[in-house]
Structure 1
Amino acid sequence: MTKSSSAGSAVPESNYPGERLGLPEEGPGSVARFGMRIFALVIDWGLAAVLAWWIFDYAAFAVSAIFIVLTSVCIALLGSTIGHLIFGMRVNTIRGEAPGWWRPWVRQVLLSLVIPAIIMDSDQRGAHEVLTGLVLRRFR
């Protein structure tokens, strides 16, 4: 079933976030919901703030830089940030593959700009994920 957009093109209708991507509605493999994302972000940003305070006397630029480096490296190596792991989430490509090295860096730089993260599609993916071909999924 499709519905028309303002431009007149057909947009696939979905009943839940991730359906258009072939993901389950709930449980492992489903799209991570907004609340879990926010809690994970708070943990990751808090870790970056503590490290910036400890190493750089809490310089504002240092918090952002540490956040980008810490989360990008964690996603590239583990598939998740520390916050994602705590809340049972993993970053994958739409096909379910590991994100590789360049996608996490681009994703996290765009996330730190905030605006791309709040522009979401019907699958609850922010522009930072759509542009990099990634999706944040639950693993438990």
Structure 2
Amino acid sequence: MPDQPTPPVSTVPFPTASWGRRILALFVDWVASTLVVIVFVGLDEYGEPGSPAQLYTLVVFVLEAALFTWLLGGSFGKLLTGLRVVPAAGRGRLSNPLPLLGRQVAIALVIPPLVFRSDGRGLHDLLAGTATVTMDTYRRLTTTGV
């Protein structure tokens, strides 16, 4: 019997969001996180060489995105650009914040989002069991269940 190709493992049965919108959402999140840090430490401190303020921006970015994704289904940037993070199964709720925190740490490492599957899910999504979708897809998933 000839070898048959194995089907892709854990592909999602719905379309995922484009990388362009995801990058725009990431940019919005980073700018918002930077502004939050500047409000707390001041522009002079933020711009000073050797200041830890840039590291604070990374911490704010990771925590904001993980918390908003857990509570609202997407980071500030994702929600503003019309994206949502959903369980890879397409239904249910993102009820556990720890995988979402791990997902954001992976995004902060930069490489995981750049390594992705044919279904549009990066290593960070595989780690957390999630997928990023448009609001239209999200609405369809919540009304039909996939």
Normalised by the length of structure 1, the TM-score is: 0.79
* Contact 1:94–1:135, Cα closer than 8 Å, also in 2: yes
State the AA in 1 paired with 2:37.
A
Q: Check if 1:51 corresponds to 2:42.
A: no
Greater per-residue helix proportion: 2
What per-residue deviation string (whole Å, max 9, x for no partner) do you get for residues 93-121 of structure 1?
11122222122101101100001111111
Structure 2: gaps (5+ residues) = 47-52, 137-146
* Contact 2:99–2:127, Cα closer than 8 Å, also in 1: no
Residue 50 of structure 2: aligned partner: none
Identity of aligned pairs, percent? Answer: 28
Residue 123 of structure 1: aligned partner: 119
Greater per-residue strand proportion: 1
> 4+ residue runs of structure 1 moved beyond 3 angstroms?
none
Residue 74 of structure 1: aligned partner: 68
Residue 83 of structure 1: aligned partner: 77
Q: 2:93 aligns with which of 69, 80, 98?
A: 98
| 1:11 CA displacement | 4.1
Aligned equivalents of 1:67, 1:82: Cα separation in 2: 10
Aligned equivalents of 1:126, 1:33: Cα separation in 2: 12
* Contact 2:65–2:104, Cα closer than 8 Å, also in 1: yes
Structure 1 residues 34 and 9, CA, compared in 2 at 3 Å: closer, same or farther? Answer: farther
SS of corresponding position for 1:135: strand
What per-residue deviation string (whole Å, max 9, x for no partner) do you get for residues 53-108 of structure 1?
22133311101000011111100100111111122111111112222212210110
For the aligned residue pairs, the C-alpha RMSD in angstroms reads 1.9
Q: Equivalences for 1:14-25 in 2 at 5 Å?
A: 20-23=11-14
State the AA in 2 paired with 1:105.
L
* Contact 1:44–1:82, Cα closer than 8 Å, also in 2: yes
Residue 39 of structure 1: aligned partner: 24
* Contact 2:87–2:93, Cα closer than 8 Å, also in 1: yes
Normalised by the length of structure 2, the TM-score is: 0.76
State the AA in 2 paired with 1:63.
T
Structure 1: gaps (5+ residues) = 1-7, 24-29
